[in-house]
Amino acid sequence: MDYISTRDSNRTPAKFTDILLGGLAPDGGLYLPAEYPKINEAELNTWRALLAEQGYAVIAAEVLKLFIDDIPADDIEAIAKRAYRTPVFDHEEIVPVTKLEDGLYVGHLSQGPTAAFKDMAMQLLGELFEYELGRRGEELNILGATSGDTGSAAEYAMRGRDNIRVFMLTPAGRMTPFQQAQMFGLDDPNVFNIALDGVFDDCQDVVKAVNADADFKARYKIGAVNSINWARLMAQIVYYVSSYLKVTESNDQQVSFSVPTGNFGDICAGHIARQMGLPIDKLIVATNENDVLDEFFRTGDYRPRSSAETQETSSPSMDISRASNFERFVFDLIGRDAERTAEFFGVQVRAGGFSLSEDEAFPDAAQKYGFLSATSSHADRVDTIRDAHERLGYLMDPHTADGVKAAREWAGRVDGPIVCLETALPVKFSETIAEAIGQAPETPERFAGILDAERHVTELPNDAETVKTFIAESIAGTEV
C-alpha cells in the first residue's frame, strides 16, 4: 500500500509509517492511498460474523490491515485491541448503534475518555505513535489545532506516553467551559495547551505555517494529530463499516450516513469507505451557520470565510470556514489531478476560493460520490434537541442535532435507513441543552469535578513565529 500527496503530480510513493509520523506532505498536500483497497462480498460476510462474535477491535484490525503493509499483522491486531477496549471506552460494543425513529439510527461515537467522537481515532493514533516511535527509537512533538474536541481527545490519548509531547492550539474563549476544563485541567509534563488570539481557522493556519517550515519541522520532529494525518481518517473508516453491519442483515442493503462536520474529516472517511465498496447510498453533510461546505454541494462554489466572518455558534466544534480535509475529496472529484488541486488549495483558496460550478466534474459530487448537504440554525438545534428528548427520550448534543436535522430533511429521498453519527455527549454543551429542555444535562460520574480542576494553559498571539519559539523553548525544558 503506497500513499501519495494530493499536490504531487509525480505521485511519489510513501509508506504508512512515514506519513503517520510526518502528517502533512512536504508540498503542503494531504496523503491518500495511491489506490483505495476494495471490500468484497466475502470480506463483508466474514466481518459481519466477526463483529457479532469478537467485537469492534477485531473489525478495526481487519480494516487497518488493508491500509498498512509496513507493520506486521499480529502487531496491528494487538494495537487495535489496546486502542478499543473497556474501560477506555465505557461500552463493550465501543460503537453501539440505536434506533431513534423509523428509518433513523444513531451511531454512538462518544463512549471514549473525552466523550467525543475524536476519541475513536485518537486512541488508535496514540497506540500507533508509541509503537512506531519505540521501534525507531525516536521522539515526536505533536502540533495540533482544535475547535473543541480534537484537543482533549489527543491529549488524553497521548498523555504519559513515551517519546511524545503534545502542543495544542485552541481559539481563546471559543470553546465551552467543559471543553476547556477537559484540556486545561491536565497537568502532564508532556502536554502543552496554547490559547491563541483568534478563531479555529487561525489556529489551523498556524499549524500549517509551522509545518511549512521544513527546517523547523525536521529539527523539532513535528508531527500532526489533526485530521490532516491520514491515520485519523483510516481509523474513522472502521465505524462506518461496523455501523453498516449493525443496521443491516445482508450485503445487498444500502445505508446512508448523516454527518455533522466542519473540517470534512469525519465524512471524508465515509467517502473513502464508500469508494472501497461499502454499500453506502448517500453521505449527508450537516453544517451549522458556517455553511461553506453546504454552499459547495449546492452550488459548486467553495468560498472559505475570513476569521471575522466565521460565526460563533451553539455547535462550536463546527465553527470552521476552511475545511482541511475537503482537499482530499476535491482531489478525487477532479480525477486526482494534483496540479489542479495544488492550484485550488495552494493558491485560489488563499485568494478567496474557487468554483467548480461550470466544471464537468461537479455533478459527480452528488451523482457518483453520493453527497448531499443541509445546514442548521441555533433554533433548529434547540428544536431538534427538545423534540428528541420529549418525544423519543433521547438527549443529544447540538452537533448531533445538526446531523439529525439534516437526516430528517433528506429522509425518504435516500435508499435504506440513515445513520446519524453522534459527535459528543450533551454534558459538553450544558448551556444549549438547558435552553432546549429547561435543565442542564446530568454529568456522568466519570467527569465529576472536572470543572473544578486548576487550569494549565499559555496565552499567545496569533503568530506562527511566536508559537515556534514557545515550542522550541518547551522542548528544551522537558524530557519525554
Catalytic-residue membership of 65: no
Cα angle value 259/261/267 (rounded, 5°): 55
HEC assignment per residue over the chain = CCEEECCCCCCCCECHHHHHHHCCCCCCCCEEECCCCCCCHHHHHHHHHHHHHHCHHHHHHHHHHHHCCCCCHHHHHHHHHHHCCCCCCCCCCCCCEEEEECCEEEECCCCCCCCECHHHHHHHHHHHHHHHHHHHCCCEEEEEECCCCHHHHHHHHHCCCCCEEEEEEEECCCCCHHHHHHHHCCCCCCEEEEEECCCHHHHHHHHHHHHHCHHHHHHCCEECCCCCCHHHHHHHHHHHHHHHHHHCCCCCCCEEEEEECCCCHHHHHHHHHHHHCCCEEEEEEEECCCCHHHHHHHHCEECCCCCCCCCCCCCHHHCCCCCCCHHHHHHHHCCCCHHHHHHHHHHHHHHCCEECCCCCCCCHHHHCCCEEEEECCHHHHHHHHHHHHHHHCCCCCHHHHHHHHHHHHHCCCCCCCEEEECCECHHHHHHHHHHHHCCCCCCCHHHCCHHHCCCCCEEECCCHHHHHHHHHHHHHCCCC
Q: Check 15, 65, 99, 118 and give the catalytic one.
A: 118
* Catalytic residue list: 118
